[in-house]
Amino acid sequence: MGNIYLIRHGQASFGADDYDVLSPVGVRQSQALGEHLAQLGLCLDHCVAGTLRRQQDTARLALEAMHANGCQVPPIETDPAFDEFDADGVIRALLPGLLPEEPEALHVLRNGAQNRSEFQRLFALMVQRWYDGEHEEEDGLETWQAFTARVEAGLGRVLQRASSGDDIAIFTSGGTIAALLHLVTRITPSQAFALNWQIINTSLSQLKFRGRDVTLASFNSQAHVRLLKVPELVTYR
């Protein structure tokens, strides 16, 4: 059987003008991941990343660390199927309907870095309404159904190119991993996102595949940062 390693990107710049940039913590997480994979003796046959800068940079830094520790590494292939869903679009589309019952929501969302727990509560509520379809389709927002279809097509392309026994890394985002869990295990979107909120930056989830048959082998492995005993490297956003 072959293996697909789903890797969430390193910590991005939450609260900054450009979220899609790895923080210094995100850089170290990515390097620690590559060092750990090299220590495990993992030799990747393929590496795929979404188009987002945080995904690409996580892949580049991890592979550089693997190479520096004696591993041969493949080039990074890019597939937009593994991009995150449009979180900003979800907020824009769902916030107006939320304000009557959550009048402080706009202030919290504008100051998320100072209100992290409340930001997460409100964002999770809007994501729930998004995957439940509680928004107007004409607002241009990618639906949950379209998002999962995009991710499924990307997984299909990976499997089509793969050979039996390949080890493949996919550098992606938490929502994309949630969609893959939904597709592979048939859990509900609600269950998938309950797991999504637990995924730490640069964690590994492992899928096993034989042909087009895919099963979940492990979820949210954190050994590469836990073993360093540096608590600030364990981040969720």
- Shared domain for 8 and 55, answered yes or no, is yes
- Shared domain for 114 and 212, answered yes or no, is no
- Shared domain for 100 and 168, answered yes or no, is no
Whether pLDDT at 17 is above 70: no
pTM of the model: 0.93
Asked, for residue 152, whether it belongs to a domain, the answer is no
Strand stretches in the chain, DSSP E: 2-8, 46-49, 76-78, 167-172, 204-210, 213-221
- Which neighbouring-strand residues pair with 12? 22
Asked, for residue 196, whether it belongs to a domain, the answer is yes
- Shared domain for 57 and 102, answered yes or no, is no
What does the pLDDT look like over 209-230, one tens digit per residue?
A: 999 999 999 999 999 999 999 9
What's the 3-state SS for 90-124?
Answer: HHHHHHHHHCCCCCCHHHHHHCHHHCHHHHHHHHH
- Shared domain for 186 and 117, answered yes or no, is no
- Shared domain for 134 and 222, answered yes or no, is no
Backbone angles phi, psi at 204, to 5 degrees: -110, 130
Q: Which domain holds residue 32?
A: 2-84+162-233
- Shared domain for 135 and 167, answered yes or no, is no
- Shared domain for 78 and 94, answered yes or no, is no
* Alpha carbon 82 to chain centroid, angstroms: 8
Please give the tally of structural domains in the chain.
Answer: 2
Instruction: Find the CATH number of the domain harbouring 166.
Output: 3.40.50.1240
- Shared domain for 15 and 115, answered yes or no, is no
- Shared domain for 193 and 223, answered yes or no, is yes
- Torsion, Cα of 163, 167, 171, 174 (10° steps): 100
What does the pLDDT look like over 105-120, one tens digit per residue?
A: 888 888 877 778 888 8
